[in-house]
Amino acid sequence: MFTPKLLFSAVVVFLASSGVNGAAYIPGCSFFAGQCLYTISQGQDANCLSAGSGSAAAVCCDTLKVDVKTIGSDNGKSRIVSLLGSKAQAQAATAQLEAERDDLLAELATVRSELADLTSQVVTCQASLGLSDGDSQPLTALGLPVNLRYCDFESDSDCTWTYDTDVVSHMTSSSSGPGADHSLGSTGGRFMALDVSKAAKNGKKYSTKTYFITSQEYEPANDYCIAFYYSMLGKDVQGLEVAIKTDTGSSYPVWSSSGPKSSDWLLAQFEVDREYVAEPFSLRFKVSTSSYKDYYGNLELDDGDIGIDDVYAYNGTCKEALGCSPNSVKRNSSDGSTPCYTFHVTALPWKDAYRTCREEGPASALVSVESEEEQNFLIGVINGDPALRVAGQSGFYTSGSDRQYEGSFKWTDTGSGRSVSGLYENWGYRQPNNVGGIQDCLLLEDAAEGFAWGDVDCDTAHPFICEKS
């Protein structure tokens, strides 16, 4: 008697029995371990003649003979044809369902990306209208548990610092001291400095002359993390000290350094605890030089400047204050360094973009793209985020600038900077071109050409990327 079930079990028996431990299975009809085993293949019918003895074996063989005959009959064939037909139909139906499912998924992906584009357009729109939105914040928010008071000396109203005469609150560059400020790395920026040659006019021979620079007042807290950049270039600079000043007076120095130093801007960083900062307090910088004017009025020992720039005061420990922002993207560089980047979609002029980056911490600056690996990493992040893709149509500012010397672009993150030429370069066609004679800032400009670089007017607003090294 033929049934599909029987056909199925016959095949299973064949497959399963071919693996029975070492026991030979002879194709055809046989009696094995008390069971009737047979398989359906050509010559089967004949093999059955050699079935084992006994009535069970005879029934086994008889059943096989009937089954093989049934399969061979018109009825059996049409049954197989109809089974195969319905299997094919089922397969076709499954394939159609799968295709429909794929169509739906593709449609869903399109809807998602359209939604993301719309969202980022809304964000861009809100930004251009000066509205803020919860969603655009995370890109810029530091997300740190402490508050920062930051001073870059770029404008008089920023920081209410006081200082002795001969201290210059807005020095932009100097032939004997740093060639450029730290905040912007160009003559467009300012810093606080003791001009040693100016001090010499009031100096006496062989005596050290000291000057004081006092910061604004900071609120009390349990700890403060202080960081600032200083320069002690020039052979006649002497010392720089920082003390904590409260209502009743100044502490002994909590940080000090003596000059001269060989490279311009250096980072100073220290922590002070409750004993120092439980009361409102200020930072008191003491700068010293031995410069003087000789009997004939000639300046002596007058080479150098002591500069201070980018002062950070966090009302917490340095550990709390100086990590990478939770909203940044970290890169595992092949040279072993792990810089983190924050992407800002709200367009700003270069100087304001720079300040935003500096405020992200003492090791933060507008991005310097110094290898193909770094450029490709940034492109990858931008292309993976619809809001950044949209913002990227107007380019991203970098720290690259030739504000100091026209035609000589440098990465300005360290103040003195490094020349762009000779490192990795990815200028677009006919770039830089200084159109109108006013294009001094390096933009990751051409989104369609892998963000090839171009120079643009620094006063125009663009999105930007900050890098924390």
Ligand X SMILES: *[C@@H]1O[C@H](CO)[C@@H](O)[C@H](O)[C@H]1NC(C)=O
Bridge partners for 444 per DSSP: 396, 453
Pairing of strands 191-195, 167-171: antiparallel
Residue 78 or 332: the one with the smaller Cβ distance to ligand X is 332
CB of 275 to ligand X, least distance (A): 15
CB of 319 to ligand X, least distance (A): 12
Residue 119 or 147: the one with the smaller Cβ distance to ligand X is 147
The residue at minimum Cβ distance from ligand X is: 147
Q: Residue 232, class by beta-carbon neighbours within 10 Å (0-12 exposed, 13-18 middle, 19+ buried)?
A: buried
Residues that bind ligand X (CB under 6 A): 146-147, 219, 221, 315-316, 332
Residue 10 or 221: the one with the smaller Cβ distance to ligand X is 221
CA 301 from centre of chain: 47
CB of 467 to ligand X, least distance (A): 16
Residue 149 or 170: the one with the smaller Cβ distance to ligand X is 149
Residue 27 or 323: the one with the smaller Cβ distance to ligand X is 323
The closest alpha carbon to 369, from 263, 469, 265, belongs to 469
Residue 225 or 458: the one with the smaller Cβ distance to ligand X is 225
CA 279 from centre of chain: 38
CB of 317 to ligand X, least distance (A): 9
CB of 316 to ligand X, least distance (A): 5
Q: CA 300 → CA 165, 198, 234, distances in Å? A: 19, 11, 13
CB of 313 to ligand X, least distance (A): 10
CB of 330 to ligand X, least distance (A): 7
- Residue 200's Cβ-side half-sphere holds a number of Cα atoms within 13 Å equal to 20
Residue 146 or 388: the one with the smaller Cβ distance to ligand X is 146
CB of 269 to ligand X, least distance (A): 18
CB of 250 to ligand X, least distance (A): 23
CB of 277 to ligand X, least distance (A): 10
CB of 147 to ligand X, least distance (A): 3
